[in-house]
Chains A and B, each alone.
Chain A
Amino acid sequence: MNAMIKYFVAIVALTAALNVSAAADLEVNTPGINAIKQSMQTRHAQLAPYYDSGAVGLTADGMIALRDAGAVPLAQRQAVNALVAAENGDRSALYAEIAKANGHPEWQAEIRSTFAQRWIQRAQPKWWVQSGGGWKQK
């Protein structure tokens, strides 16, 4: 009986140790993630004026969207659409890449929703963010 108690204690200790290691930081420093980050950083300089003007807003699903095409001069509209599409492509890839880098591709949706909340929370004043199905200015 004593041996069995020891056995169970060992099992509990082992699972506890595994859970602790799983709760550590997420791996975000891989060549794939860094490349996407770099690309998004470069693009942000071009996107920032559109966030400021309210033409582009942050969506509730961790993406960005053209919310007010009227705020963009006709000549720039195509360029903005291309920027938004490229940014969303990078964002999807980023969420997938983080999930993969941590050995849990199934975490992608949760990573996306975590980012969605943080992008919105960290958005600068005057920027438009999606909340409760509608757009709201920070």
Chain B
Amino acid sequence: MNRIWIAFAGLALSACVTINIYFPAAAAEKAADKIIDEVWQTQQTDKPAAKEAK
């Protein structure tokens, strides 16, 4: 019986972890740069490293 409770506690804890997905700041920055490039029609001359697939 004790084991079941521990298992439930583990499940509840992992559910918290998966629901509170953090904001992907780096991905958001990359997405912002991509959109800004397209809106302003600029090439990233100052950051050539970021000029890849996405």
B51 within 8 A of A: no
Name the distance in Å between B1's Cβ and chain A's nearest Cβ.
Answer: 14
0/1 interface trace, chain B 23-54, chain A, CB 8 Å (1 if under): 11111111111111011111000000000001
**Which of A13-21, A67-75, A76-84, A129-137 is found at the contact surface with chain B?**
A13-21
Q: Whole-angstrom distance between the alpha carbons of A23 and B18 in the complex?
A: 12
Name the distance in Å between B12's Cβ and chain A's nearest Cβ.
Answer: 11
Is A11 touching B11 in the complex (CB atoms < 8 A)? yes
Contacts of A7 in B (CB 8 A): 7, 10
- Report, as a range, how many residues of chain B touch the other chain: 20 to 34
Q: Whole-angstrom distance between the alpha carbons of A114 and B16 in the complex?
A: 26
Contacts of B17 in A (CB 8 A): 15, 19
Is A41 touching B27 in the complex (CB atoms < 8 A)? no
Partner among A22, A28, A44, A118 whose Cβ is within 8 Å of the Cβ of B24: A22
Which residues of chain A in 95-129 are interfacial with respect to chain B, using CB atoms and an 8 Å cutoff? Answer: 98, 104, 107, 110-111, 114-115, 117-119, 122
Is B18 touching A28 in the complex (CB atoms < 8 A)? no
Q: Whole-angstrom distance between the alpha carbons of A98 and B25 in the complex?
A: 13
Contacts of A117 in B (CB 8 A): 29
Q: Whole-angstrom distance between the alpha carbons of A99 and B33 in the complex?
A: 16
Chain B residues in contact with chain A, CB under 8 A? 3, 6-7, 10-11, 14, 17-18, 21-36, 38-42, 54
Those 9 A-B pairs whose CB atoms lie nearest each other, nearest first: A118-B32, A26-B31, A114-B28, A22-B21, A40-B39, A110-B23, A11-B14, A26-B27, A28-B31
27 A-B residue contacts at CB 8 Å? A4-B6, A8-B10, A11-B11, A11-B14, A14-B14, A15-B17, A22-B21, A22-B22, A22-B24, A23-B24, A23-B27, A25-B30, A25-B54, A26-B24, A26-B28, A28-B34, A37-B35, A37-B38, A44-B40, A104-B23, A107-B28, A110-B28, A111-B28, A111-B32, A114-B25, A115-B35, A122-B33
